[in-house]
Amino acid sequence: MSDNKMAVADINHSLYDFKDIENEQDFYRMEEGLSRETVLKVSEEKNDPDWMREFRLQCLDLYNRIKMPNWGPSIEGLDMDKISSYVRHKSDMKGKWEDVPEDIKNTFEKLGIPQAERESLAGVGAQYDSELVYHNVRDEVAAQGVIYTDLESALRGEYADMIKSHFMKLVPPTDHKFAALHGAVWSGGSFVYVPQNVKVDIPLQSYFRLNAAGAGQFEHTLIIVDEGADLHFIEGCSAPKYNVANLHAGCVELYVSKNARLRYSTIENWSKNMYNLNTKRALVEDGGIMEWVSGSFGSHTSYLYPMTILKGEGSKMEFTGITFAGKGQNLDTGAKVVHQGERTSSVINTKSISKDGGIGTYRSSVIIQSTAKKAKASVSCDSLMLDSISRADTIPGMDIRTNDADVGHEAKIGRISDEAIFYLMSRGISEEDAKAMIVSGFANPVSKELPLEYAVEMNNLIRLEMSGNG
Amino acid sequence: MSDTSLLQVQDLSVSIDNELPILHNISLDIKPGETHVLMGPNGAGKSTLGFTLMGNPHYCVTGGKIFFDGEDITDTSADKRAKAGMFLSFQNPYEVPGITLSSFIRNAYHAQTGAPVKLLAFQKSLKAAMQILSMDESYADRDLNVGFSGGEKKKAEILQLLMLNPKLAILDETDSGLDVDAVRTVSKGIEEYQKKKDGALLVITHSTKILESLHVDYTHVLVKGGIVHTGDGALVDEINANGFERFI
């Protein structure tokens, strides 16, 4: 019986799939807002190899079929009909500095970012000094054999095959609707390859190449750290990233080979109209180490759960994250880890702050598969609410299929204490500064994982958010 | 009011969160450099007075006024009172993770003076003050009060007193829960503040150990929310010998 049902379903499905081209285009445009034509145009602009063009079209098909997620914060405000124009705007998105919203400009001002960089961060700039820094850094690491470039050039260069065999293999477009969308219209991003046993001393910072072609809302980051190699990669910065369109669906794929180590740090501060639906994933081989440091500020709504697959024996991961949800923000963040190899271990530490009615949800999933003998996992999540109208939720999931796993979980939700504020104020510290100090202290386990200049920026950002000027 | 008063409390009545009345018609007059002791049995309202003088918003002044250095501070926030030169040593200091004792004091110092803190000079005087209190230097880099023992917390309070150098220090049960040696060490710090820096003190206590090395000018006895008796330093000894019985 069930076979028959399957067959019927298949036939029905095929009926929908057969359409003449003209109708199909209309269908796409009217129903979903993204046309085959648009995707082909992106592909043409990027001068894609054939396989990539085909891949984009397959992704478009998946995108049209996969339903919107219905388990997280509402994304009703996201105008899916405009997807097409978001994509089309890509090439001529460079607007005018005058058009950048005032609050964004003020934040740049308060963070002390030079004008040229402000323009670049706001997507309206052309050239700035950091471009030079980027080239210098690239040349320096190139001497060690490290490839650090934008993904488009990499697709046509020496490493084309490596990209083909890794691109969206870790985050397949079938994963969810926005992964499929990403696959169809991705543009810009970084490619890093660190050869065997090479230790990169300086952190590579994508910040330096933000204005390089197409750092935007569908950027793709692909990092491969070969056996025994070591890399720290830093994505983003504390300055608010402003885009004309309000959807960010980026994708990050990280491959950590045997005995390699990758530290991936991000501070994201999207403008407050942004729907941030980002997918990040790492695959770790035998003895490899994956370390995440993740700061989520800004955006209207975020879905962000960096995932690590501990495939290799003895592989490890550590996730340290902080989320700050202010007025009107609904940030659903956390982490996911899948233990496959024996003696794999994971540590998840997160901090979430909510203020002025903001909603911060911690969501995590720890999966220990039956092959992962003697696995160790520890999860700790702290939430701090700064007033009685804000909200903090904790949704930790665990699925353990072995009987020798060592698993710990600790969750704390609290409100900022009036007495502690009074204690600080009794030493001459203003109420606003007292709160900011307590919150910075709460965030300290995260900021101390960041390089100094980023830690300082993050503390400035917390201070701005606390004063309501973020 | 007298021109020479540092702290003048006039007919002060206080309730907690505007509900439970605790203090009734308290009057006090502390001049610069004087040491006053406030004694009384448990639950008399001693800590309430300390919190109220420092401006804890949960304690509501329902009557009377507080003047400091000639200014009416009855409705002033705690940070402004601190800047004017008031200090409260807490009975139960709060633990604040993520901020070190040294950076907390530096922040407070900066907030009070408004001047940039010269790091080397600051570290030198912090070290000297920690020596007076027999505090291990490593405490400077530990998170504020986090994991400190009771004695270490009290020492950290007195350390802040010495570093911030207020005109008036209110010490709320600084000796409670301390062993004999710790009381002696803490007293040394208070003595330093009193003698070398000519600071005024309001010492809230229900024991007398901490007072042994201090010169006491006035002693007030607080019972059931009111000051029932005021005497000189000798009253401390009397209470030490006979308890509060005759005031109740």
Q: How far is B118 from chain A (nearest CA, A)?
A: 18
Confidence of residue B4 (pLDDT cuts 50, 70, 90): confident
Q: Would you say how long chain B is, in residues?
A: 248
Distances (CA, A) of A253 to A215, A248, A447, B226: 16, 16, 24, 70
Look at phi and psi of residue A357 and say left if phi exceeds 0, alpha if psi is from -120 to 50, else beta. Answer: left
Candidates A419, A442, A444; nearest CB to B94 = A419
Please give the ipTM for the structure prediction: 0.96
What are the backbone angles phi and psi of residue A403, rounded to the nearest 5°? -110, 10
User: Cβ separation of A426 and B78 shorter than 8 Å?
Assistant: yes
Portion 365-404 of A in contact with B at CB < 8 A: none
What mean pLDDT do residues A246-264 have?
94
- Residue A151 pLDDT: 86
| % of chain B beyond a pLDDT of 70 | 98
pLDDT band at residue A16 using 50, 70 and 90 as cut-offs: very low
Q: Look at A442 and B97 and tell me if their CB atoms are within 8 Å.
A: yes
CB contact under 8 A, A442 and B108: no
Q: Using a CB-CB distance cutoff of 8 angstroms, which residues of chain B are in contact with residue A443?
A: 98
Buried b (16+ CB within 10 A) or exposed e, A21-53: eeeeeeebbeebbbbbebbebbbeebebeeebb
SS3 at position B109:
helix
Report pLDDT digits (tens) over A296-315.
988 899 999 999 999 999 99
Contact A434 B56 (CB under 8 A): no
Q: What is the pLDDT of residue A100?
A: 66
Q: pLDDT tens across A357-381, in order?
A: 999 999 999 999 999 999 999 999 9
More confident residue, A336 or A206: A336
In whole angstroms, what is the distance from residue A153 CA to residue A310 CA?
30
User: CB-based contact (8 Å) between A428 and chain B?
Assistant: yes
User: A438: which chain B residues are within 8 Å (Cβ-Cβ)?
Assistant: 96
Which of A67-81, A109-123, B221-235 reaches the highest mean pLDDT? B221-235
Chain B residues within 8 angstroms (CB to CB) of chain A: 54-58, 77-79, 81-83, 87-88, 90, 93-94, 96-99, 104, 107-108, 111-112, 143, 160, 164
Residue A11 predicted with pLDDT over 50: no
Q: Cβ contacts of residue A15 below 8 Å, gap of 6+?
A: none
Q: How is residue B43 written in tokens? A: 């639950």
pLDDT band at A351 (very low <50, low <70, confident <90, very high): very high
Residue of A nearest to B96 (CA): A438
Please give the single-letter amino acid code of residue A5: K
pLDDT tens, position by position, A135-170: 566 778 888 999 988 888 889 889 999 999 999 999
Give the separation between CA A49 and CA A348, rounded to whole angstroms: 39
In which band, very low, low, confident or very high, does the pLDDT at B2 lie, cut at 50, 70 and 90?
A: very low
pLDDT at A25: 39
pLDDT at A10 over 50: no
- Give the integer Cα–Cα distance in Å for A71 and B159: 53
- pLDDT at position A117 is 55
| Chain B touched by A412 (CB under 8 Å) | no
> Cβ–Cβ of B111/A422 closer than 8 Å?
no
Domain definitions of chain A by residue range: 12-466
* Tens digits of residue pLDDT in A382-431: 999 999 999 999 999 999 999 999 999 999 999 999 999 999 999 999 99
Phi, psi of A171 (to 5 degrees): -115, 85
Q: Which residue has the higher pLDDT, A48 or B211?
A: A48
Chain A contact set for B156 (CB, 8 A): none
- CB contacts of B81 in chain A (<8 Å) are 426
Residue A266 to residue A302: CA distance in whole angstroms = 14
Mean pLDDT of chain A: 82
What pLDDT, on the 0 to 100 scale, is given for residue A125? Answer: 41
Most confident of A460-469, B40-49, B163-172: B163-172
Cβ–Cβ below 8 Å for A425 and B55: yes
Q: Is A64 within 8 Å of chain B by CB? A: no
Report in angstroms the alpha-carbon separations of A245 from A82, A210, B221: 8, 17, 70
For an interface test with B, the pick among A349, A426, A437, A456 (most B C-beta atoms closer than 10 Å) comes out as: A426
pTM: 0.82
The whole-angstrom separation of Cα A283 and Cα A200 is: 20
**Are A422 and B56 a contacting pair at CB < 8 A?**
yes
DSSP conformation letters of A168-208: TTSS-TTS-HHHHHHHHH----EEEEE-TTPBP-SPEEGGG
A440 contacts on B by Cβ (under 8 Å): 98-99
pLDDT for B176: 85
Quick check: B79 and A425 CB within 8 A? yes
φ/ψ of A227, rounded to 5, equals -50, 130
CB contact under 8 A, A445 and B98: yes
> Is A425 in contact with B94 (Cβ distance < 8 A)?
no
Distance from CA of B230 to the nearest CA of A (A): 28
Of A13-27, A160-174, A263-277, the range with the lowest mean pLDDT is: A13-27
Does A4 or B161 have the greater pLDDT score? B161
Q: Which residue has the higher pLDDT, A47 or A20?
A: A47
pLDDT above 60 (res A466): yes
Res A240: pLDDT: 62
pLDDT tens profile A204-238: 876 543 433 333 578 899 999 999 999 999 886 55
Contact flag A430-B111 (C-beta cutoff 8 Å): yes
H or E element that contains A39: helix A36-45
On the question of pLDDT at A258 being above 50, the answer is: yes
Q: From A437, which residue of chain B is nearest by alpha-carbon distance?
A: B99
Q: Which band of pLDDT confidence, cut at 50, 70 and 90, is reported for residue A79?
A: confident
Could you tell me what percent of chain A has a pLDDT over 70?
76
Distance from CA of B113 to the nearest CA of A (A): 9
Query: In the prediction, which pLDDT does A362 show?
Result: 95
Q: Is A353 on the interface with B (CB under 8 A)?
A: no
- To the nearest whole Å, the CA of B159 is away from the closest chain A CA by 12
Q: Which of A362-371, A388-397, B148-157, B189-198 has the lowest mean pLDDT?
A: B189-198
Q: Is A422 on the interface with B (CB under 8 A)?
A: yes
| A 150-169 residues with CB < 8 A to B | none
Query: Are the C-beta atoms of A40 and A29 separated by less than 8 Å?
Result: no
Element containing residue A337 per DSSP (H, E): strand A330-339
Assess contact for A116 and A86: CB atoms under 8 A: no
CB atoms within 10 A of CB A16: 9
**Span between the terminal Cα atoms of chain B, in Å:** 30
Q: If you measure CA to CA, which chain B residue comes closest to A417?
A: B94
CB neighbours of A418 closer than 8 A, spacing ≥ 6? B57, B58
